[in-house]
Structure 1
Amino acid sequence: MNIKRLLWKYFLPAFTGVVVNALYNIVDRIFIGRGVDALALSGLSAVFPLMLIIFAFGMLVAIGANVRISINMGKKDYKRAEWVLGNAVTLGIIISALLTLFGYIYRYPLLKMFGAGQGALPYALEYFEYILFANVFATIGFILNNACRAEGNPKIAMYSLFISAGTNTILDPIFIFGFDMGVKGAAIATIISQFILCIWVVAHFYSKRSVLKLHLANLKLNGQIIYYILTIGFAPFSMQLAASAVQAVLNTQLIRYGGELAVGAMGIINSVAQLLVMSIIAINMASQPIIGFNFGAKQYARVRDTLITCIWAATSIAIGGFLLTQLFPGAIVRIFNNDNPELFELGRKGLRIFTLFFPIVGFQIITGNYYQSIGKAGIAAFLSLLRQVIILIPMLYILPPFTQLEGVWFANPISDLLAGIISALFLVKALKKLKGGTEKFN
């Protein structure tokens, strides 16, 4: 199929799916911000980096398995693709169970470390304790939902997230307002929706609609397959861990220079940034099976066409997001909380600064995904860590002593700019290698 048509076929359900999936946290923040209070919003912001850690382990398995599934399907080795799928499920169950146990034992120090102040801590604890016990369902649902795309069923993946996030959106106001359950109600709504997602995708891989099947024999772990999954999945895993580390540093610096309400404002900014970045990640999700399949089939010209098309699309989304946050920051912040003027001003100003260089973020994310999709895990991990750790964390400590709270906000756009320059060098190298479609990759 024509590359643009093929990308559109995969992008539309992926975009719809990730936007709907992003609504999990965004809807929770909107209802908690309006139905409880600003400190509850700060508490949820402290839970957010811990949720990123849990999500990182899901990505470690899901993305690593997807790349291997796509490459094996490109080689027509469907038996091995099913073996990868089964091992991914077992690995996901083991990792998520261990994370749940660890998180529950150390929940108090973890939440304090990630920025939960005295006023926000009770809200953070209440939400986090409930979310932990849905971790296994959330992880398996995420792994198998991504596998739907890898096997060539992107619409099934989209429907899965529609059902799950739709359930969460409906139940949130019922539990928070109708049953007056506050933060606990938001957490319970999320648990129910994640359980439904898990059941739905497991059923898919036992149905006639699936290309690959879940076999009990394939659930037995194989050392080589686990190694392949983990090495490829390390790049998105490190990126998510980096996001969590950055969020922890951000929260502590925000409390130091702006107080607990600044953490709440960061929660609003994160919701908006997450929605924008996830839109670009949808392009990655659409391109990954196409790049992986064609790379496995040695169709390098099609890989190059896919990469170039994705860069244009991602840059367009990034520019659109930049314009929205620069022109309408106040209207965006009011969606989350409209009765606290201090929170409004912090969020409005922070959002504008935070997204200052967002137009150059799109091609950075696409470049990292390209190297990940062709199995170059080391380069992919470096490019992912560059923007979120190697440059950003030092900036969060260097700038604030001179410019106070504004320094915390400005650390992100400076990191975007410097990482963009370095990513561009890797992108040029990749395009040169792919030019002509005949170069061998070792």
Structure 2
Amino acid sequence: MKVNRSEALGTEPISKLLIKQALPASIGILVMSLNILVDTIFVGNWIGSIAIAAINVVLPVSFFIAALGMAIGIGGASIISRALGANDSGKALKTFGNQITITLVLTISMVVLGLAFINELIPAFGGKGAIFEPAKVYYRIVLYGVPVLALSMMGNNVIRAEGKPKFAMIAMIIPSVGNLILDYLLINILDMGMEGAAWATTVSYICCFFYIIWYFKSNNSELKIDISHLGIDWPILKEMSALGFVTLARQAVVSVTYLLMNNILFDLGGESSVTVYGIIGRMLMFALFPVLGVTQGFLPIAGYNFGAGNYSRVRESIKLAILYACGVALLIFTVIMIFPEAIVSVFTQDELVLKDTPNAMRWVFAAVPIIGIQLIGSAYYQAIGKATPAFLLTLTRQGFFFIPLVLIIPSYLGEIGVWLSFPIADVLSTLVTAFFLWRETRTKL
């Protein structure tokens, strides 16, 4: 085995280490977000604005199933980071083996159920009227590739837990670049419409999966598993499930949010309002890439140093991560406030969508400068293996605040009430997270 390079997580200066971890994560998320963004632009211009709404309807279902892989990946990555910090390679290997087994079992089961109830799920998620048929076409094909997507998401988090952010970045870039190339070929050149968009997504993640297999087979990885590691270890599975449930719950809430938003907006403004949310949702994924990159970079640093008992480095990583995250979020906020009309015009030339989206986007991004506190705070508890506070803080933003707000405010204010719910939820969840994080750093660390 090569020298354990994960030890750098416990020795290098935090400021240098955080940039070193966060930059590749940010680039990977940027390319992945650009993929989603450009994919939406291609679909909107080459197929039509209804296609944007159709993809937005399918996202909750595919996101939730793919989130199983992400949840298992992050839950296991927390254990692996702390095990490597404590020099317990046996536990790290067993955890990785269990991740593979449980990812396959759960995602294949979910795909079967997802296909069995296709006609019920699509209308439930807002796929009504003219949106239903293109959504059904896209849904069926994308669902075939979900197990591969889930394994890729799981493997990516394990790579990052080993302290190998550059390889994790490449794993995110491959499906993004592949999807854009295939989009052009299948939609624009071969004129395959929604089928082309769906196959482009599925095939691109198959390419990512092969790269991740290569990584773990090569000498770059410290985790060399064999068949014995695939057997279920119940204590590890229990810990991994508790920590992974945090991520799964967050993604489940995202799916519920899409369900509510698509239905509420369809009732308030029809297909065009669903398209408005489709564009804003893509911008949220794209614009917040550096904040999410800092959060991803922070996780293995905090987990490794907590496992090694080096609490001063954990405190320093929290402070710097929040500083970096809020700094880049402020820049994002400034750009969105100044150029929303120009941003929206890239997606579609539909006059109604062009008229309604810019102001809605301004409200949605209004509290973005402080969002880093909420993301880093909830990520900290997940990194150190405290599942309950991580779970509760993760749900504050969308579960405890946004969903109740979006069910209540629009009944009084109409569609503007939908957009106002975003900044109110952001402010309230940040205040709650800041309190718990302040108490943690003053007492436990």
Cα deviation, 1:370-392, whole Å, max 9, x if unaligned, reads 01111111111111111101111
| Matching residue of 1:111 | 122
| Matching residue of 1:368 | 378
Provide the C-alpha distance between the structure 2 equivalents of 1:19 and 1:107, rounded to a whole number of angstroms.
Answer: 32
| Matching residue of 2:259 | 248
| Matching residue of 2:4 | none
| Matching residue of 1:203 | 214
Deviation at 1:234, TM superposition (A): 1.3
| Matching residue of 1:5 | 16
Q: Does structure 2 conserve the Cα–Cα contact (< 8 Å) formed by 1:46 and 1:114?
A: yes
Q: Does structure 1 conserve the Cα–Cα contact (< 8 Å) formed by 2:100 and 2:151?
A: yes
Q: Does structure 1 conserve the Cα–Cα contact (< 8 Å) formed by 2:70 and 2:157?
A: no
Deviation at 1:278, TM superposition (A): 3.7
Alignment of 1:52-63 (within 5 A): 52-63=63-74
| Matching residue of 1:38 | 49
| 1:138 and 2:114 correspond | no
Which structure 1 residue ranges, 5 or more long, are not aligned? Answer: none
Counterpart AA for 1:281 = L
Cα deviation, 1:183-217, whole Å, max 9, x if unaligned, reads 11111111111001111101211111111113221
| 1:188 and 2:199 correspond | yes
Q: Does structure 2 conserve the Cα–Cα contact (< 8 Å) formed by 1:114 and 1:249?
A: yes
Q: Does structure 2 conserve the Cα–Cα contact (< 8 Å) formed by 1:206 and 1:214?
A: no
Deviation at 1:14, TM superposition (A): 0.7
Which structure 2 residue ranges, 5 or more long, are not aligned? Answer: 1-11
Deviation at 1:146, TM superposition (A): 1.4
Alignment of 1:280-291 (within 5 A): 280-291=291-302
Q: Does structure 1 conserve the Cα–Cα contact (< 8 Å) formed by 2:397 and 2:429?
A: yes
**Secondary structure class of the residue paired with 1:391:** helix
| 1:228 and 2:239 correspond | yes
Provide the C-alpha distance between the structure 1 equivalents of 2:171 and 2:69, rounded to a whole number of angstroms.
Answer: 17
Deviation at 1:22, TM superposition (A): 2.3
Provide the C-alpha distance between the structure 2 equivalents of 1:321 and 1:111, rounded to a whole number of angstroms.
Answer: 33
Q: Give the ranges of 4+ consecutive aligned residues of structure 1 lying more than 6 Å apart after TM superposition.
A: none
Provide the C-alpha distance between the structure 2 equivalents of 1:318 and 1:370, rounded to a whole number of angstroms.
Answer: 19
Q: TM-score, normalised by structure 1?
A: 0.96
Provide the C-alpha distance between the structure 1 equivalents of 2:213 and 2:411, rounded to a whole number of angstroms.
Answer: 51
Alignment of 1:29-108 (within 5 A): 29-108=40-119
Cα deviation, 1:63-86, whole Å, max 9, x if unaligned, reads 001000000000001121011111
Provide the C-alpha distance between the structure 2 equivalents of 1:363 and 1:55, rounded to a whole number of angstroms.
Answer: 26
Counterpart AA for 2:106 = I
Q: Pick the aligned partner of 2:403 from 368, 372, 393.
A: 393
Q: Pick the aligned partner of 2:350 from 340, 348, 359.
A: 340
Cα deviation, 1:335-354, whole Å, max 9, x if unaligned, reads 211x2110111211211111
Deviation at 1:52, TM superposition (A): 2.2
Counterpart AA for 1:157 = A
Deviation at 1:117, TM superposition (A): 1.7
Q: TM-score, normalised by structure 2?
A: 0.95
**Secondary structure class of the residue paired with 1:208:** coil
**Secondary structure class of the residue paired with 1:116:** coil
- Count of aligned pairs between the two proteins: 434
Alignment of 1:8-19 (within 5 A): 8-19=19-30
Counterpart AA for 2:387 = A
Cα deviation, 1:319-376, whole Å, max 9, x if unaligned, reads 1121111111111111211x21101112112111111111111111110000111111
| 1:294 and 2:301 correspond | no
**Secondary structure class of the residue paired with 1:115:** coil
Alignment of 1:292-441 (within 5 A): 292-337=303-348, 339-433=349-443, 439=445
With 129-138 and 339-348 compared, the bigger mean Cα shift is at: 339-348
| Matching residue of 1:261 | 272
Counterpart AA for 2:350 = N
